[in-house]
């Protein structure tokens, strides 16, 4: 009977491990977990064009990740992208006039939000909006711009 009990405990642990693994696959590996849990505070930013920025992309300051993109919506009134950022609560001294850019990591890499601190003494609080934003660089537009400049320069 002692042995039977050990077997039952083993099988119980086995099943629990399996459920745990499945839970891990569902929550951590796949997209089942809805947009993140609430630790930290939220900032909003409006962009003309976010390129291929994705939910859960990194938010960095001076290259250090300080938060994540939590939600991306389209504002039908202003025809702008409304991006909600979640910043870790220990980074609570982000100046009010901070500049938000969408950068690309490497030539083909992931896009992320980079914050450039301003000089203000007022700090952003939960729910505030970043006023100064710079849209993502879209490769076709840059090339188009470059060719246009080249053509203009050549005609001079």
CB of 11 to another protein, least distance (A): 5
The smaller minimum CB distance to another protein, of residues 57 and 124, is found at: 57
The smaller minimum CB distance to another protein, of residues 37 and 76, is found at: 37
CB of 149 to another protein, least distance (A): 26
**Cα(111)–Cα(98) distance, rounded to whole angstroms?**
19
Interface residue list for another protein (CB under 8 A): 4, 7-8, 10-11, 13-15, 17-18, 20-22, 24-26, 28-33, 54-58, 65, 68, 105-110
The smaller minimum CB distance to another protein, of residues 139 and 147, is found at: 139
The smaller minimum CB distance to another protein, of residues 30 and 76, is found at: 30
Question: Is residue 113 a contact partner of residue 83, using CB atoms and an 8 Å limit?
Answer: yes
Ramachandran region, residue 146 (left: φ > 0; alpha: ψ -120 to 50; beta: rest): alpha
Q: How far apart are the first and last CA of the chain?
A: 96
The smaller minimum CB distance to another protein, of residues 22 and 142, is found at: 22
**Cα(50)–Cα(69) distance, rounded to whole angstroms?**
12
CB of 61 to another protein, least distance (A): 13
CB of 86 to another protein, least distance (A): 12
Question: Is residue 50 a contact partner of residue 71, using CB atoms and an 8 Å limit?
Answer: no
CB of 32 to another protein, least distance (A): 4
> Exposed (0-12), middle (13-18) or buried (19+): which is 16, by Cβ within 10 Å?
exposed
């Amino acid at each position: 009977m002692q042995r039977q009990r050990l077997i039952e405990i083993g099988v119980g642990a086995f099943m629990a491990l399996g459920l745990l693994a499945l839970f891990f696959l569902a929550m951590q590996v796949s997209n089942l977990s809805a947009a993140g849990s609430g630790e930290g505070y939220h900032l909003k930013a409006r962009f003309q064009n976010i390129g291929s920025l994705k939910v859960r992309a990194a938010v960095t300051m001076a290259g250090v990740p300080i938060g994540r993109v939590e939600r991306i919506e389209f504002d039908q009134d202003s025809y702008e992208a409304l991006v909600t950022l979640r910043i870790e609560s220990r980074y609570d001294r982000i100046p009010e006039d901070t500049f938000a850019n969408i950068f690309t990591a490497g030539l083909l890499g992931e896009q992320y939000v980079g914050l450039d601190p301003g000089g203000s003494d007022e700090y952003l609080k939960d729910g505030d909006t970043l006023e100064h934003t710079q849209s993502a660089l879209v490769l076709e537009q840059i090339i188009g711009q470059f060719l246009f400049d080249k053509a203009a320069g050549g005609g001079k």
